[in-house]
């Protein structure tokens, strides 16, 4: 295989070749590390590149040869978002606050990757503390979209999506609180799965909004995402929200047949504010399913109108509480020359956090504060109940619900930072899914008039990753 | 609702954050427009709807209270800005 073929290959192909002896993990890992060193200056998709990846790959080769590692992705390298703890490797959350934080432990998902025999290439760039939709709020500078260098890669897992799109990682892990896997996957033209809440342990994921956060795979194909999902999912006693062990049948995903399946299309996902090109590409993909025997029905879901307010109230409320741990005491940034404890707290936080993080902490404190709690936070939890009811009703009728991932394709760099509300509104299609904990996948489905990728979002029932991955794989097989 | 400078200062206090006067001005404007949009939720009829905190109806999950982690004192202290005699050092808290 040539260097170029290795870089372009999907993860399962690399895994098969490594297992059969056609390639070694060392060869593959070295190829990716060299490519990152040569090319990532253009994209800034990595914050940290592992110094030990190649030597780790050598050890893994020995274990594969000895028959100790037999998984489908053994020996395959992977990029990991920088809010997932890696023992002994900087985990900065793209924040000045954690720019010196070296975790003393591995996140559960990282332990699972290592047990599979996957090699960590490095840690990917993101919006600071996963707060943002463009990867422009990173303390380490913005990531550039490989599909168009004047475009943002989306966010917050922009580095994880861009590294796969730029052939600088075969697969990656991201995290999704309100669309942070699906939207960058859509903007960069790759596939990203946000699993059902509770199927993948959050232990070792730096918390943003604990009732919404979920780790998931990003890859070149839905089948790769299925294989990686099987590795990272499972019950973990260290995460009390981890519920049942969901595994998918990867062969069944690859050969999935959509005939007889029912697709629901919420009209509001194709209304005002959604780009014409985005609507057209997604509907063409839906037509593909119809041509292959699925039935399609439009339905109304008026609650979508309240998705953004509900999401930002819940997410910011949880964030302001989760981020109260950053006080300059136990770990993280501490400024020089503080003379009392309160000064230490205030200066550590004021100098350590970027503006978007501060804004969300303040918004969270506002909606939880005395006098406003009922009107905002409690109201949002009531809206959450209504959103759940709307999806429960939809899934009585349909196997999947399909819409766009985002109202637009990748935005031009620098466009949304000046107007946070505008950035928040771009999350309209994704945030509902986190509020009710459903699984959803972002699948590339063609380009807009400027050649930028459009993403289709396939939403499934709780724990039904099998069906949405199957739908995605069926489309990728047929197109 | 109307956002005032007093409210911004109150939120800084709650969040243990100090903004510069320019940041306060900017935040005043931005929080105003964000909350203006969020206020839309007030239109939604939620009469009689029970607030839902966990989408799956999970309640507390407990495990046996046994120590499973190893001694990592040095490793954990290595992330603190200042340490002394196996403890984390902070400015004097009591006179």
DSSP string across A205-246: BPPS-TTT--EEEEESSHHHHHHHHHHHBS--TT-TT-----
**Residue of chain A with shortest Cα separation from B13:** A346
* Residue whose structure tokens are 């009829």: B45
Which of these, A421, A326, A444, A462, lies nearest to A133 by C-alpha position?
A421
Measured in angstroms, the CA of B49 and the nearest CA of chain A are apart by 6
User: Percentage of residues in chain A with pLDDT exceeding 90?
Assistant: 94
Residue with tokens 């168009």: A148
How does pLDDT run across A231-280, given as a tens digit for each residue? 999 999 899 888 778 899 999 999 999 999 999 999 999 988 899 999 99
Residue B71 placed within a domain: no
Both tokens of A270, joined, read: 């194709």
Is residue B46 situated within a structural domain?
Answer: no
Q: What is the pLDDT of residues B36-52, one digit of tens each?
A: 999 999 999 999 999 99
**CA–CA dist A290, A298 (Å, integer):** 13
Instruction: Judge whether A368 and A317 are in contact, CB under 8 Å.
Output: yes
Determine the distance from the C-alpha atom of residue B17 to the mean position of all C-alpha atoms in its chain, rounded to a whole number: 11
Q: Does A421 contact B34 at a Cβ distance shorter than 8 Å?
A: yes
Is A16 an annotated catalytic residue? no
Q: Which of A243, A334, A350 faces B81 most closely, judged by CB atoms?
A: A334
B14 in any annotated domain: yes
Q: Do A345 and B16 touch (CB under 8 A)?
A: yes
Neighboring chain B residues of A379 at a CB cutoff of 8 Å: 41-42, 44, 46
The question of whether A163 is a catalytic residue gets the answer no
- The CATH number given to whatever domain includes residue B22 is 1.10.20
Ranges of each domain in chain A: 3-253
Neighbours of B52 (CB within 10 A): 19
What are the structure tokens assigned to B37, written together? 């949009």
Q: Look over chain A and give the mean of its residue pLDDT values, rounded to a whole number.
A: 96
Question: Is B32 among the domain residues?
Answer: yes
Residues B80 and B95: their CA atoms lie apart, in Å, by 24
* Contact (CB, 8 A) for A76 and A118: yes
Do residues A86 and A9 lie in contact, with contact meaning Cβ atoms separated by under 8 Å?
no
**Residue B19 in domain:** yes
Contact B52 A365 (CB under 8 A): no
Parallel, antiparallel, or unpaired for β A453-459 and A119-124?
unpaired
Q: Which residues pair with A46 in a beta bridge?
A: A124
Rounded Cα gap, residues A228 and A217, in angstroms: 6
Q: Distance between CA atoms of A263 and A266, rounded to whole angstroms?
A: 10
For residue A324, count CB atoms less than 10 angstroms from its CB and return exposed for 0-12, middle for 13-18, buried for 19 or more: middle
Cβ within 8 Å of residue A319, ≥6 positions away: A129, A131, A208, A209, A360, A361, A364
Asked whether this complex has an ipTM greater than 0.85, the answer is yes
Please answer yes or no on whether B82 and A334 come within 8 Å at the CB atom: yes
Residue A470 predicted with pLDDT over 80: yes
Task: Kindly determine whether residue B79 and residue A353, on different chains, have CB atoms separated by under 8 Å.
Answer: no
- The answer to whether B44 contacts chain A (CB < 8 Å) is yes
DSSP state letters, A240-270: TT--------HHHHHT---TT-EEEEEGGGG
A81 carries an active-site annotation: yes
Residue B11 lies in a domain: yes
What is residue A275's three-state secondary structure?
A: coil
CA distance B28 to chain A (A): 10
Q: Prior bond to A156 cis, omega within 30? A: yes
Does B12 reside within a domain?
A: yes
Interface test with B, best of A97, A209, A363, A378 (most B CBs within 10 A): A363
Q: Which CATH superfamily is domain A3-253 in?
A: Amidase signature (AS) domain (3.90.1300.10)
Mutant choice from A236, A273, A358 vs B, greatest count of B C-beta within 10 A? A358
- What pLDDT band is residue A465 in, cutting at 50, 70 and 90? very high
Average the pLDDT over B11-36 and give the result: 95
Is B75 in CB contact (< 8 Å) with chain A?
A: yes
- Does residue A286 surpass a pLDDT of 80? yes
Task: Inspect the interface and report whether the beta carbons of A385 and B51 lie closer than 8 Å.
Answer: yes
**Domains held by chain B: number:** 1
Tell whether the model's pLDDT for residue A184 goes beyond 80.
yes
Task: Report whether pLDDT(A43) > 80.
Answer: yes
Q: How many CB atoms lie within 10 A of CB B28?
A: 15
Domain of residue B28, residue span: 5-37
CA dist., res. A152 & res. A137, Å (int): 11
């Amino acid at each position: 295989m040539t260097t170029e073929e290795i870089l372009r290959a999907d993860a399962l192909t690399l895994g098969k070749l490594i297992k059969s002896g056609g390639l070694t993990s060392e060869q593959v890992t070295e190829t990716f590390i060299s490519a990152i060193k040569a090319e990532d200056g253009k994209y800034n998709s990595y914050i940290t590149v592992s110094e030990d990846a190649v030597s780790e790959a050598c050890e893994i080769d020995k274990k594969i040869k000895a028959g100790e590692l037999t998984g489908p992705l053994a020996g395959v390298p992977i990029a990991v978002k920088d809010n997932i703890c890696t023992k002994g490797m900087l985990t900065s959350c793209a924040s000045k606050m954690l720019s010196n934080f070296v975790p003393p432990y591995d996140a559960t998902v990282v332990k699972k990757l290592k047990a599979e025999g996957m090699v960590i290439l490095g840690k990917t760039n993101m919006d600071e503390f996963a707060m943002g939709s463009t990867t422009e709020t990173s303390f380490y500078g913005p990531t550039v979209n490989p599909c168009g260098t004047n475009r943002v890669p989306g966010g917050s897992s922009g580095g994880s999506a861009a590294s796969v799109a730029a052939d600088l990682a075969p697969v990656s892990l991201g995290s999704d609180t309100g669309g942070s896997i699906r939207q960058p996957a859509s903007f960069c033209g790759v596939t990203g799965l946000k699993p059902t809440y509770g199927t993948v342990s959050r232990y070792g994921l730096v918390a943003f909004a604990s009732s919404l956060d979920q780790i998931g795979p990003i890859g070149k194909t839905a089948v790769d995402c299925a294989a990686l999902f099987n590795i990272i999912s499972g019950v973990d006693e260290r995460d009390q929200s981890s519920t049942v062990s969901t595994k998918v049948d990867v062969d069944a995903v690859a050969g999935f047949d959509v005939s007889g399946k029912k697709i629901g299309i919420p009209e509001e996902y194709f209304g005002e504010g959604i780009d014409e090109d985005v609507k057209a590409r997604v509907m063409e993909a839906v037509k593909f399913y119809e041509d292959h025997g699925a039935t399609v029905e439009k339905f109304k879901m008026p609650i979508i109108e309240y998705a953004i307010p509900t999401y930002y109230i819940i997410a910011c409320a949880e964030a302001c509480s989760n981020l109260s741990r950053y006080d300059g005491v136990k770990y993280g940034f501490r400024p020089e020359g503080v003379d009392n404890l309160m000064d230490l707290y205030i200066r550590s936080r004021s100098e350590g956090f970027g503006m978007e993080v501060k804004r969300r902490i303040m918004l969270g404190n506002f909606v939880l504060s005395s006098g406003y709690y009922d009107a905002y936070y409690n109201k949002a939890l009531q809206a959450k109940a209504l959103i759940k009811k709307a999806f429960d009703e939809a899934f009585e009728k349909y196997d999947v619900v399909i819409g766009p991932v985002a109202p637009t394709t990748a935005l031009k760099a620098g466009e949304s930072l000046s107007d946070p509300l505008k950035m928040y509104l771009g999350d309209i299609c994704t945030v509902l899914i986190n509020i009710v904990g459903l699984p959803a996948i972002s699948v590339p489905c063609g380009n807009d008039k400027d050649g930028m990728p459009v993403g289709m979002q396939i939403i499934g029932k709780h724990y039904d990753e099998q069906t949405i991955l199957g739908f995605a794989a069926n489309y990728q097989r047929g197109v | 609702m109307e956002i005032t400078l007093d409210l911004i200062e109150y939120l800084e206090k709650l969040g243990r954050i100090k903004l510069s006067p320019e940041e306060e001005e900017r935040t005043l404007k931005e929080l105003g427009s964000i909350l203006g949009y969020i206020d839309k939720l007030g239109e939604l009829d939620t009469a009689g709807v029970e607030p839902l905190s966990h989408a799956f109806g999970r309640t507390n999950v407990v495990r046996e209270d046994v120590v499973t982690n190893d001694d990592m004192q040095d490793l954990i202290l290595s992330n603190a800005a200042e340490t002394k005699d196996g403890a984390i050092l902070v400015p004097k808290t009591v006179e």
